[in-house]
């Protein structure tokens, strides 16, 4: 095998977004495009040479090609040991679990998460550091800076590694281990949850659930854990075989894209519990019979019930949520007497807090929930947490559990409106306009509400003092309701405008009303202030969650 130094030229736009570098497949298929980015990672992370690297992806189109390239580049860049999932499959939380368990120097995840796949779809790559979490901004920026001057990359010539067979081989001087993608992760889950109680629930004859893997990476994990270990009947997991194009669907577990699951849970003779996960297995959606649990409420509920789950019985150090996530978890934290941190959007901002032992649970409105068991959000973990709650609260429906929670804490009514594929300049103009209004908005009255403060969210990490700005425009009203405007950092076409709407409803007689109905006045205010329709050219959002 020959080590080659291949001359290359920099590509513009290789700056990682909210979660790694995401582009159309065709962009990644350009000669040297993937290689440049990977070499930049090796260049700014010298400890990968001589260390262990974990590699895997969500099974999407172009994964096999990219993985073979990365294997040869890892060998050429001096990686000592490389762990790769069988068939290249590893969910994002499984990568995090493996990095931590095997003291790896880092991991590369090949995924564009919930974005569609296939030849015309999206591809992505992200680097996770030795704590198992997404690289922090100082690392992603260093990678980006390196991509701007790169002149050559290192790669071995050679034949492909057979990823179909579990076992070891040697590539150059690097040991390659093709591993069972599920085993270590499943063992970790078993250490956190009461599998005995959950399997009794699964087999008591009255409880039924449905898990939609959306043709993505969690299929093998969910089958192994829910069906094989916990005894849920075969067929509990639907769409359980990962497909390169996710069956032509959008592997995003929300009300708009997980339609098959939603119709099962809304249908006749619906199961008691429904859940879905996304392309790379870090997101989750939780449903009851004809009932949707918002991710913000799910975080709050998980926090409130943590004492009944074995892995969390000793209590929570604290909770963290991204800024646009509702304040429901803050109310639980206050009652538990623990801190609640508000971070920018992006799981990478939770890493320091977890490493420093300041928080145990983290969550985001974007269908992400997780804990310090790994350093990524974790879809199946959230599903198992809910199953553990249901197993200890037998005879309670998901809707009842949430209703009781609202009765105790009040309801943070919440919704996100997305305008996708908007003209980038128009979206920038909308945000710039809001920026200019920040000084004049406080004090203004809109119907019964008055704006108390308006800002662009910025964050100082309490652990290392690093700062992050431009987190989104917040308008906070005197009745503690809130509007947030933000541009997504994960889209690959035009801009996606996200509008986050939240109000607080203490009155239990109004708790069952539809969120869009309760938020209607706030939605109107958000339009009046930002002129969303004019800038986006749309009459309504593309996706409402």
Decide if 113 is catalytic.
yes
Is 502 a residue that touches ligand G16 (CB under 6 A)?
A: no
User: CA quadruple 542, 258, 305, 507: dihedral positive or negative?
Assistant: positive
Is 366 a residue that touches ligand G16 (CB under 6 A)?
A: yes
Nearer to ligand G16, 14 or 77 (CB): 14
Give the span between the Cα atoms of 295 and 285, in whole angstroms: 7
According to DSSP H, which parts of 316-421 are helical? 328-336, 351-355, 379-392, 398-409
Q: What share of the chain is helix, strand, coil (3-state, %, to 5)?
A: 35, 25, 40
Residue with tokens 């057979």: 162
**Stretch in the footprint of ligand G16 (CB under 6 A) among 238-246, 470-478, 488-496, 516-524:** 488-496
Give the span between the Cα atoms of 285 and 379, in whole angstroms: 8
Nearest-approach distance from CB 200 to ligand G16, in angstroms: 32
Nearer to ligand G16, 128 or 360 (CB): 128
Cβ contact 127:110 at 8 Å: no
3-state DSSP of 285-328 = EEEECCEEECHHHHHHHHHHHHHHCHHHCCCCCCEEEECCCCCH
Q: Of the candidates 231, 308, 488, 494, which one interacts with ligand G16 according to CB under 6 A?
A: 488
Q: Which helix (H) or strand (E) holds 518?
A: helix 515-530
**Stretch in the footprint of ligand G16 (CB under 6 A) among 139-147, 257-265, 275-283, 528-536:** 275-283
According to DSSP H, which parts of 3-103 are helical? 25-28, 33-44, 63-76, 92-101
Give the span between the Cα atoms of 215 and 117, in whole angstroms: 11
Give the span between the Cα atoms of 111 and 21, in whole angstroms: 9
Is 388 a residue that touches ligand G16 (CB under 6 A)?
A: no
Nearest-approach distance from CB 508 to ligand G16, in angstroms: 31
**Stretch in the footprint of ligand G16 (CB under 6 A) among 354-362, 384-392, 432-440, 485-493:** 485-493
Nearest-approach distance from CB 179 to ligand G16, in angstroms: 23
Is 252 a residue that touches ligand G16 (CB under 6 A)?
A: no
Instruction: Give the contacts of 412 (CB within 8 A, at least 6 positions apart).
Output: 296, 297, 300, 326, 327, 328, 331, 502, 503, 504, 505
Is 19 a residue that touches ligand G16 (CB under 6 A)?
A: yes
Nearest-approach distance from CB 201 to ligand G16, in angstroms: 28
**Both tokens of residue 170?**
């040697």
Nearer to ligand G16, 288 or 324 (CB): 324
**Stretch in the footprint of ligand G16 (CB under 6 A) among 47-55, 294-302, 342-350, 518-526:** 342-350
**Stretch in the footprint of ligand G16 (CB under 6 A) among 52-60, 301-309, 364-372, 511-519:** 364-372
Q: Of the candidates 345, 388, 468, 526, which one interacts with ligand G16 according to CB under 6 A?
A: 345
**Stretch in the footprint of ligand G16 (CB under 6 A) among 26-34, 49-57, 187-195, 340-348:** 340-348
**Stretch in the footprint of ligand G16 (CB under 6 A) among 53-61, 140-148, 174-182, 343-351:** 343-351
Nearest-approach distance from CB 377 to ligand G16, in angstroms: 7
Nearest-approach distance from CB 113 to ligand G16, in angstroms: 3
Q: Of the candidates 310, 442, 489, 494, which one interacts with ligand G16 according to CB under 6 A?
A: 489
Q: Of the candidates 122, 282, 378, 502, which one interacts with ligand G16 according to CB under 6 A?
A: 282
Q: Of the candidates 130, 194, 297, 364, which one interacts with ligand G16 according to CB under 6 A?
A: 364
Classify 414 as helix, strand or coil: strand
Is 321 a residue that touches ligand G16 (CB under 6 A)?
A: no
Nearest-approach distance from CB 19 to ligand G16, in angstroms: 4
Nearest-approach distance from CB 204 to ligand G16, in angstroms: 34
Q: Of the candidates 257, 283, 358, 405, which one interacts with ligand G16 according to CB under 6 A?
A: 283
Nearest-approach distance from CB 497 to ligand G16, in angstroms: 10
Q: Count CB atoms within 10 A of the CB of residue 245.
A: 16
Is 18 a residue that touches ligand G16 (CB under 6 A)?
A: yes
Nearer to ligand G16, 114 or 331 (CB): 114
Nearest to 515 by CA among 502, 526, 524: 502
Nearest-approach distance from CB 334 to ligand G16, in angstroms: 24
Is 494 a residue that touches ligand G16 (CB under 6 A)?
A: no
With contacts defined by CB under 6 A, how many residues of the chain interact with ligand G16?
A: 18
Give the span between the Cα atoms of 126 and 112, in whole angstroms: 9
Is 498 a residue that touches ligand G16 (CB under 6 A)?
A: yes
Of 113, 277, 372, 481, the catalytic one is 113
Nearest to 522 by CA among 447, 439, 472, 454: 447
Q: Of the candidates 88, 117, 132, 368, which one interacts with ligand G16 according to CB under 6 A?
A: 368
Give the span between the Cα atoms of 377 and 370, in whole angstroms: 4
Is 113 a residue that touches ligand G16 (CB under 6 A)?
A: yes
Give the span between the Cα atoms of 357 and 102, in whole angstroms: 21
Displacement of CA 515 from its chain's centroid (Å): 23
- Using alpha carbons only, give the angle 286, 475, 470 rounded to the nearest 5 degrees: 85
Is 442 a residue that touches ligand G16 (CB under 6 A)?
A: no
Q: Which residues pair with 505 in a beta bridge?
A: 411
Nearer to ligand G16, 180 or 420 (CB): 420
Classify 107 as helix, strand or coil: strand
Give the span between the Cα atoms of 509 and 350, in whole angstroms: 36
Footprint of ligand G16 (CB under 6 A) = 18-19, 113-114, 278, 282-283, 322, 345-347, 364, 366, 368, 488-490, 498
Q: Which residues are part of the catalytic machinery? A: 113
């Amino acid at each position: 095998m020959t080590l080659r130094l291949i001359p290359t030229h920099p590509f513009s736009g290789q700056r990682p977004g909210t979660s790694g570098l995401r582009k159309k497949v065709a962009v990644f298929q350009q000669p040297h495009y993937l290689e440049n980015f990977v070499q930049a990672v090796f260049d700014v992370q010298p400890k990968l040479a001589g260390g262990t690297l974990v590699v895997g992806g969500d099974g999407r189109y172009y994964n096999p090609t990219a993985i073979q390239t990365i294997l040869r580049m890892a060998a050429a860049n001096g990686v000592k040991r490389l762990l790769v999932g069988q068939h290249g499959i590893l969910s994002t939380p499984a990568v995090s679990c493996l990095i931590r368990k095997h003291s790896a120097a880092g991991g590369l995840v090949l995924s564009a998460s919930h974005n569609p796949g296939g030849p015309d779809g999206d591809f992505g790559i992200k680097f996770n550091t030795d704590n198992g979490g997404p690289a922090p901004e100082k690392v992603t920026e260093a990678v980006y800076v390196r991509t701007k001057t790169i002149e050559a990359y290192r790669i071995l010539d050679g034949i492909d590694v057979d990823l179909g067979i579990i076992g070891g081989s040697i590539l150059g001087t690097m040991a390659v281990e093709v591993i069972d993608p599920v085993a270590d992760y499943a063992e970790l889950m078993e250490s956190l949850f009461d599998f005995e109680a959950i399997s009794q629930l699964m087999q008591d004859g009255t409880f039924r659930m449905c898990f939609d893997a959306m043709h993505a990476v969690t299929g093998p994990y969910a089958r192994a854990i829910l069906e094989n270990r916990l005894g849920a009947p075969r067929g509990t997991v639907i769409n359980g075989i990962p497909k390169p194009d996710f069956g032509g669907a959008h592997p995003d577990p929300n009300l708009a894209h997980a339609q098959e699951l939603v119709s099962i849970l809304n249908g006749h003779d619906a199961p008691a519990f429904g859940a879905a996960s996304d392309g790379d297995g870090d997101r989750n959606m939780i449903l009851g019979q004809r009932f949707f649990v918002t991710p913000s409420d799910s975080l709050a509920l998980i926090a409130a019930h943590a004492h009944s789950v074995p892995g969390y019985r000793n209590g929570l150090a604290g909770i963290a949520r991204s800024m646009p996530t509702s304040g429901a978890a803050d109310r639980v934290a206050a009652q538990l007497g623990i801190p609640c941190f508000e971070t920018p959007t992006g799981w990478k901002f939770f890493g320091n807090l977890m490493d420093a032992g300041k928080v145990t649970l983290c969550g985001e409105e974007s269908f992400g929930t997780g804990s310090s068991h790994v350093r990524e959000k974790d879809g199946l973990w959230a599903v198992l947490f809910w199953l553990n709650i249901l197993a200890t609260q037998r005879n309670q429906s998901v809707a009842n559990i949430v209703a009781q929670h609202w009765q105790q804490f009040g309801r943070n009514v919440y919704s996100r409106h997305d305008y996708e594929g908007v003209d980038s300049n128009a979206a920038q103009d909308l945000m710039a306009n809001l920026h200019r209004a920040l000084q004049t908005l406080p004090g203004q009255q809109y119907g019964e509400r008055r704006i108390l403060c308006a800002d662009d969210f910025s964050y100082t990490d309490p652990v290392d003092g690093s700062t992050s700005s431009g987190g989104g425009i917040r308008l906070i009203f005197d009745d503690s309701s809130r509007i947030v405007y933000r541009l997504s950092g994960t889209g690959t076409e035009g801009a996606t405008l996200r509008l986050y709407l939240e109000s607080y409803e203490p009155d239990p007689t109004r708790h069952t009303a539809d969120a869009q109905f309760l938020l209607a006045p706030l939605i109107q205010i958000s339009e009046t202030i930002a002129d969303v329709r004019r800038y986006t050219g749309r009459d309504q959002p593309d996706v409402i969650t």
